[in-house]
Amino acid sequence: MSNRWSLLPASTPRAAFGMIVRNEARLGRRKPVALFAGAVVPTFLLVLFGSLRPTNIPVKALGGLTDFTVYVPIFLAMVVAALALFGLPVALASYRQQGILRRLSITPVPPAWVLAAQFVLNLCFAAIELVLLLAVAMAGFGVAAPKSPGGLVLALAAAIAALFSIGLWISAIARTEQAAGLLALAYFFPMLFFAGLFFPRAEMPKPLLDASNFTPLGAAVQAIQSALLNGFPPSVPLLVMAAYAVIFGALAVRFFRWE
């Protein structure tokens, strides 16, 4: 990152950060691409699947799970991926393209505050939407309470770290808003495929499942599903997500440009 001056300038009012978050929220609401992909679509799909497929008949091919229980972790992972890929990167790329960050860089506010605000905002959206989605699944479709709530929080936190790092990487390499949107799409659907949205991980052939375990969303679904149904998630998917967070985070920091 080229701007190495203080990220917390002494004389800049801290309230400015709150104002930036407020205005980013307004912008997110007025152009709700990320909110739509990250909140409306997963909720809609969850309700649709819950209404169309049996929620209480165990399926042998799914290892005795119901169709519906298999999809809950996938939708949770989808929320995180949509907000991380369509929220932060597209906004930042457009701000950079239009010179909004450039204008900001001559005020007492470091442009990094906008990035932080975007992060906080999308994190809040994700938290609200994840809780809502789980509540709908439990109250509406009889999904059992998570076996390991702490493990679920950890699995989701790891997924958030991995996916937001990839989002940051996209905003680092995309020169325009359009490029960021296209890159986000190019990451989103293959990741959802490996997460098992199009056919469940339990039905994947062994090589595909192995590959899936090492994709960010495949690992996320593995960890989330385990926390929901079995208990504290195994360490491999958590470590896979941590590795994505570290690698893409470092690449993003290395290549990010404010202008």
Partner 1 sequence: MNARTGTDGPAIEVRHLRKSYGDMTAVDDVSFSVAEGEIFGLIGPNGAGKTTTIECALGLRTPDSGSIRVLGLNPGADVDKEQLHLIVGAQLQASALPALLRVGEILGLYRSFYRRPADADELVGVLGLAGKRRSFYKNLSGGQKQRLSLALALIGRPKIAMLDEMTTGLDPQARRDTWGLIERVRDRGVTIVLVTHYMDEAERLCDRVALIDRGAVVAIGSPAGLVERAGGGQRVRFVPSGPFDNRLLTGLPEVKDVERHGGHVVVSGSGELVSAVILALAAAGLTARGVQVESATLDDAFVLLTGRHLHGEGTVLRP
Please give the residue ranges that form the binding site for partner 1 (CB under 8 A). 4-6, 9-13, 15-16, 18-20, 23, 26-27, 30-31, 95, 98-100, 102-103, 105-109
Does residue 77 sit in helix, strand or coil?
helix
| Integer angstrom CA distances of residue 210 from 50, 83, 133, 195, 199 | 28, 26, 28, 12, 15
Task: Supply the minimum distance, in Å, between the C-beta of residue 180 and partner 1.
Answer: 16
> Which residue number, 22 or 149, has a Cβ lying nearer to partner 1?
22
> Which residue number, 114 or 223, has a Cβ lying nearer to partner 1?
114
Task: For the chain, give the longest Cα–Cα distance.
Answer: 64
Task: Supply the minimum distance, in Å, between the C-beta of residue 3 and partner 1.
Answer: 8
Chain Cα centroid distance, residue 248: 14
Decide: 152 and 224 in contact? Cβ < 8 Å: yes
Task: Supply the minimum distance, in Å, between the C-beta of residue 100 and partner 1.
Answer: 6
> Which residue number, 110 or 237, has a Cβ lying nearer to partner 1?
110
Task: Supply the minimum distance, in Å, between the C-beta of residue 92 and partner 1.
Answer: 12
> Which residue number, 20 or 136, has a Cβ lying nearer to partner 1?
20
Task: Supply the minimum distance, in Å, between the C-beta of residue 89 and partner 1.
Answer: 16
Question: CB within 8 A of 38, min separation 6: which ones?
Answer: 78, 79, 80, 82, 83, 86, 87, 122, 125, 126, 129
Q: Tell me the C-alpha distance between 57 and 53, whole Å.
A: 9
> Which residue number, 51 or 107, has a Cβ lying nearer to partner 1?
107
> Which residue number, 12 or 148, has a Cβ lying nearer to partner 1?
12
Task: Supply the minimum distance, in Å, between the C-beta of residue 22 and partner 1.
Answer: 8
Does residue 56 sit in helix, strand or coil?
coil
From the CB of residue 238, how many other CB atoms can be counted at a distance below 10 Å?
23
